[in-house]
Structure 1
Amino acid sequence: MSSTSTAFTLHDGDLPDGLDLGPVVAVDTETMGLNPHRDRLCLVQLSAGDGRAHLVQIRQTAPMAAAGSVRYAPAPNLARLMADTRVTKLMHFARFDVAVLQHALGITVAPVICTKIAARLVRTFTDRHGLAALCRDLLGVEISKQQQTSDWGADTLTPEQIAYAASDVLHLHALWNRLEPLLEREGRRELAQACFDFLPARGQLDLLGYETPDIFSHRSV
């Protein structure tokens, strides 16, 4: 079942059959927290860069037991798209989203572009690399983060939650179109691509518990 407005389409459980979002799709996720083993994936937002967002509410097959992990209802169309190597997934802070999607869907999410990594490589004159700051500085667009910590596990999302979730993917194509030339100008496009290519493995390392301490860190536990 899907419900539609002028800016978004809300899908229950999975993307519809036959939906084509093009060769580059913006992707974001909303979860119950920051631990993918404990906190379930609730919503996946996607956009083809056409000013519309597709929001998929992810369902679980049963309430999670106290010591168990989340069991998700199948979302084959979404999983197929996220694993399709012909479709580039455009994200902001892809490290988290890739790990969450790989854990929930049992796939490898690739190829990936991360606007946060791109911003950190070229905007070294600032520490403002959040999505809201980048949209403001590079696009002149104000987006609200007010609903970021709201309850995404609710059966029915509020209009404010939906507007917030949609805004997180509607500007990623335009943002990448501004950041990629800066990477080229600064001679860091190939380095950025190497970082992007590593993201599926980085997500898997995080899921295996190598986030703290980082496997690349000299520090021992």
Structure 2
Amino acid sequence: MTIYLHQNDLPDGLNLGAVVAIDTETMGLDPRRDRLCVVQLSAGDGHAHLVQIAKGQTSAPNLTRLLTDPNVVKLFHFGRFDIAAMQKAFGVRTAPVWCTKVAAKLIRTFTDRHGLKYLLNELVGVDVSKAQQTSDWGSVTLTEAQKEYAASDVLYLHKLKDALEAVLIREDRLDLAQRCFDFLPTRAELDLLGWDEPNDLFHH
């Protein structure tokens, strides 16, 4: 495994393939308030690219070109948050997308354990540490532990997608899942506009 650290944007000419795993690290859990600090990406090849986003940065041309490329599927776990965080930072709508958390909730109705750590352990056989989840991602210099944590959130998403997709197909829910994925960018935009809990449009 190699972890590549980039400042402010992806390098020119980097090709991460037709399905790119993406995650974000922010200063908190409210994308309207808490700034984007790191975007991590993987082609599913065992390597990860980490992009540090500077405070006040509003442009990352190579990254946003990837986020909006209609020929590249952006693969997330809980994409609703990551999509909102990147839209707030850069003003772009990420699409098309695929979300392992949505997929898990559609087919794993026998459990309420849909966290990435649990799913990777059960379906991929990988145990990842969440120790750095609440560390200071706005620091100018990331620690080796932070880099490894950020990378672990994207390195195995392709394998997790394959495992979940097989069950979606088996249970005749792949089409339903795809329609949910297609709605995620709109759901993220609603969150940014204030229509999240307790003002969720879909609540009674």
Which of 44, 50, 53 is the matching residue for 1:55?
50
CA distance in 2, matches of 1:210, 1:72: 26
Aligned 8 A contact 1:13 1:73 in 2? no
Aligned 8 A contact 1:120 1:129 in 2? yes
**CA offsets 1:30-89 (integer angstroms, 9 cap, x no match):** 0000112211000000000000000000012xxxxxxxxxx3242111111111111100
* TM superposition outliers: structure 1 runs of 4+ over 2 Å: none
CA distance in 2, matches of 1:21, 1:100: 21
Per the normalisation by structure 1, the TM-score is: 0.90
Gaps of 5+ in 2: none
Describe how 1:77-156 pairs up with structure 2 within 5 A.
77-156=62-141
Match of residue 18 from structure 2: 23
Larger Rg: 1
Match of residue 201 from structure 2: 215
Aligned 8 A contact 1:118 1:183 in 2? yes
3-state DSSP of counterpart to 1:142: coil
CA distance in 1, matches of 2:106, 2:59: 37
**CA offsets 1:92-127 (integer angstroms, 9 cap, x no match):** 000000111111111110000000000011111111
Aligned 8 A contact 2:37 2:54 in 1? yes
Q: Percent identity?
A: 63
3-state DSSP of counterpart to 1:194: helix
2:24 partner amino acid: T
1:56 partner amino acid: V
Match of residue 13 from structure 1: 8
The alignment yields a C-alpha RMSD, in angstroms, of: 0.8
CA distance in 1, matches of 2:180, 2:104: 12
2:157 partner amino acid: L
In the comparison of the two structures, how many residue pairs are matched? 203
3-state DSSP of counterpart to 2:9: coil
Aligned 8 A contact 1:13 1:57 in 2? yes
Aligned 8 A contact 1:28 1:91 in 2? yes
